[in-house]
Structure 1
Amino acid sequence: MTSLLLLTVGFANCEVFTALAELENLLDTEAVLISTLENYIRAEEQKTDLLKRYVDIYQKQHNKATDDVQTYVSNPINAYTLVKRLTTDWKQVETLMDTDIRADYVANISLDTSSLARGEINGVKYSSELSAADCFELGRQSYNNGDYYHTKLWMREADARLNREANETIDRSDILEYLAFSTYKQGNLPLALDLTNKLLEILPTHPRALGNKVYYEEEMEKTLVKKGRRRIRRNRPRGGKYRTPAMADPYGKEHYEMLCRGEIELPIEMKSKLRCRYINNNNPFLKIAPFKVEEAYLKPDLLIFHDVMSDSEIETVKRLATPRFRRATVQNSQTGELEIAQYRISKSAWLKEEEHKHIDDISQRVTDMTGLTVETAEELQVVNYGIGGHYEPHFDFARRDEKNAFKSLGTGNRIATVLFYVALLCSPAIGVALWPKKGTAAFWYNLHASGDGDKLTRHAACPVLAGVKWVSNKWIHERGTGVQEALYIRTATGGSDSVMNREGITISLYKTVFFTLILRCDLHIE
């Protein structure tokens, strides 16, 4: 009895000793985990410190900019560094924020599927190995949790162990089904299809495998078609198959760029014929304060109206337009639809007369300046050009083959253009460049008296190299009550009282008597 008791106690002590020895090994593992965790915390603190330094740099620049926004962004160096901070530099911040520091440390404390399957933890073997069925079950649980990455790992381990099992604990077809689908969910279609084909070699009538095979093949076909299209686009000349040498530079782009650089000036014999004058268009209101008008070009007439928009009106226009700004569009000549084009880089907004008294006053002033009704004119368009913003040479009018242009407006073609606070504007066709001056407006007719477009009115907005450029346009259309033309002394009608436009509609022309005084032609110089 005593010997039996001693044996029992001795056996118990032996079991306790063995268990404690294993626990000592676990303490070694715990020490590694603690050290890894401490290193991870230090790495995260270093990452946070670096992000704090980025915040300080950004905040200092932001505070400097907000002290005087206009002055700051008007400086091209500041504008460049602002764009750089919010693109290239910010990408570095995002990369740092996305950097998963823990990955390297988790790799040291995570247990891979092969180690677990062998019963090893941190290189120490603690239990018997898992069977193929055990690995399959772990993979199935990962699949149920939507963890397709670990599903693949466990199914591959199950397949490898199945090859070594004398008595198979799971069917290979079950492993292949889960492995194929988790591979597909990981984005590898070719391998998913290959695994599905292997499953069908084992079970040719497997219903899910047959359905998946068809689906995978269709998806791969779609991918190949998309890649083929992208390859064609990459190999196609810039601008697509419709691009021709004539279209590459349709409006004298080289001439336009030379004008923008100030390399072309009007000949002295042409300058000598230009005048400045006061006009009132027979408007009683303007008899006391007539418009100051400068001729910038003759035939076609290009006029500059000075001091026709006050500072308060300009600020109202900017304030109302800013929250509505969208990427500026152009009208497709074939469909009439608005679309974005790379030859126009700016943002625009549209303002109605009823929105503010200043907008209504500006529209009335257009009538006073031009003698044309604005009842059917387009809303006031406000355009903002940042650094690099521009609008390459174009016409404001619709040509005869552009049947759908302005069709939705139902007011005919654009007779004339009024461009307020003239930005750097050039007309390559006639070789004129108008330099910016706040509060001025340019005016020209887009159409001949016959209704045909005047191709000499081709014009462009030069690229902004420094500062910010604001302009606003008022486009006046053919149709409307009491449409009349202010003939500014030189007219293409030869004195005719009426003309027929391109759509066969007769337009009356009322000659306006001007109160004219000759001024010094240096109004644009300050």
Structure 2
Amino acid sequence: MKKRILLFAVTLIAAGLGPLPVKSQDEGEQSHSTSVAGMVKLLEVEAQLIDALKDYAGELEKKLQAVRSGIASMRQESKRAQDSMEGYLSNPLNSFKLIRRMHRDWTLWQIFMDEPVGLTQVDSVQELREQMPTSTDLEEAVTALDRIQTTYGLTMADISSGILDGRQYNVSLSALDTYAMGQILFDEGNYASAAGWLYQSLVWLEDKNNRLPAPVEVSKGEVQAVYAETLLKLERHADALTVVNIALEGDKRNDIKMLLKKSEIETLIRMGPNTIVKAPTLKSTSTRVGEYERGCRGLFPSLSTNRKLHCLYNSSNSDFLRLAPLKMELVGLDPYMVLYHDVISASEISQLQEMATPGLKRATVYKSSASKSVVVKTRTSKVAWFTDTFNELTERLNRRISDMTNFELLGSEMLQVMNYGLGGHYDKHYDFFNASSATNLTQMSGDRIATVLFYLTDVEQGGATVFPNIQRAVFPQRGSAIVWYNLLDDGETNPQTLHAACPVLVGSKWVCNKWIRERAQLFKRPCLKRGK
């Protein structure tokens, strides 16, 4: 596998393009796949690349037309000479022209043939390479698609055909797509999933109607070689031998390589029994379905089954709500959790998105061991932060949050606007901090007493906020907001608030959240533990 990657890099260098840039997060890794809004510019870059390729084709066509025109003219003169060679050459004018053509014209044609075509377009592509995804981006995209497949229990065959959780979409994966999935998962040691994707690549290549353009085509023999190697890693020796035998019947160019592999597998089979591993190509590679996965799949009990929960117009939290009460739905009592409906308008949502898009950055998580916020695989989204006094909209939203929660916002964190990308998620976590490793900010402003989460968009599939310990799942509804308490009445942290953002299956998920600190709630919740 490393040899294939090295060969690819050498090919790029030989073509004068060089390898794609490799950037660390500190150097500005763009993490393209972690935000739908962030990926929009990739479509713009791709459009520019296609234009450059089109212009390159135009330059080739000009050169090709010149060659064909020259051929037609020269062929006509040559045919006249071929009909009577001696008669043709007996005329001194013909003889002179022949010698001149052979000495001068063909030298110029050789120079013309050697002349590179489309250098301007090649330079344009080179300039755009800085904006293209890196190997890290591709690995993150593979991980995201694998996360979607396992979390929602989807089959690889369905995903390849464009069927996502029972819905058919007008898109499918090619052999190149599924082969890339298999290659990268193989390199990561996820052999079971890799085998499933490589199998789908072979299924695609079996269809004679499917064609790949020459520069990017992949041979069936190459895929079969990697698939056999993957089956060997799974100790499915007999299956690997079958794949090798099929490859030997098809692609004769791989005979020596495949014969050596066949000999190796036969030796392994003779040395020990073949371990049968259930094929991973039909169902999710993970058979265990936890509470998190059940919540993401919408399998938690409906809120309507709990008679203690109800809906009402909240008009008591503030004087303003007496004039304009908010629609509130009680979601849970431990922790206290309410869902507000139609609490943020479409124009406010649009303005927030416009404000956030230019400054979206990869979301991070604070690590006490490192004493700083770092990028982690368990949180894939992009965020933008806004101070309470950033503009009239942020001031208005903060007043509304105060009305919704009846809390003071002094000392609380800034508004955070987030956009999730390909399989964007935030794994199971708590919003409160560990008091024993509290930062100066936590010691000064207190812990996060409550979380307010606005849903700025509907999400076609997936993207729920799930609370595994209490079997609650809230699916995004544009204009709604969920509020929950992270601390108990005595100020202790509440483990029932464990929650997660499920992977986005289809859609662009935008949210805005506010973490409210406890110190300012001295008179709002006087029963909080002393010393907090």
TM-score band (shorter)?
0.3 to 0.5
Higher relative contact order (CA 8 A, sep 6+): 2
TM-score, length-scaled by structure 1 = 0.47
**Which structure: larger Rg?**
1
Q: Give the TM-score normalised by structure 2.
A: 0.47
